[in-house]
Amino acid sequence: MSTSLLYHGWGLKGYRYVRSHYGGGKLIFTVQPQPRSLTCPVCHGRDILQHGNIHRMWRDVSIGSKPIFIQMGIPRIECREC
Ligand SMILES: [Zn+2]
């Protein structure tokens, strides 16, 4: 697994592969947004402050018979522009 596979395989742009682990019959990929890709979701401004993360995990398309989950800390941001 690599950051390149995230982009070319799953279309996840602006995220970095961190690690993968197996457990309970499933494969979990941990990814995180690349800091330079963070922008305000409303105005797309880059003058933001980050206030921690909210951890989320969602299911993705299986690889063979293995269920795949992607885990990420969703950044909480405050925009200084809007
Ligand atoms: Zn904004």
- Would you write out the chain's pLDDT as a tens digit for each of its 82 residues? 677 777 787 788 888 899 999 988 999 999 998 878 888 989 999 999 999 999 999 998 888 899 999 999 999 999 999 9
Note residues around ion ligand 1 (Cβ under 5 angstroms). Answer: 40, 42-43, 45, 79, 81-82
DSSP-assigned letter for residue 46: S
Sign of CA dihedral 62, 64, 15, 13: negative
CA 39 to ligand 1 center in whole angstroms = 8
Give the containing element (helix H, strand E) for 8. helix 3-10
pLDDT score for 8: 82
CA 79 to ligand 1 center in whole angstroms = 5
pLDDT score for 18: 92
Identify whether the C-beta of residue 27 lies closer than 8 Å to the C-beta of residue 67. Answer: yes
CA 36 to ligand 1 center in whole angstroms = 15
Query: Six-digit token pair at 81?
Result: 């522009």
Identify whether the C-beta of residue 77 lies closer than 8 Å to the C-beta of residue 47. Answer: no
Rounded (10°) CA dihedral 48, 49, 55, 56: -10
Q: What is the pTM of this model?
A: 0.73
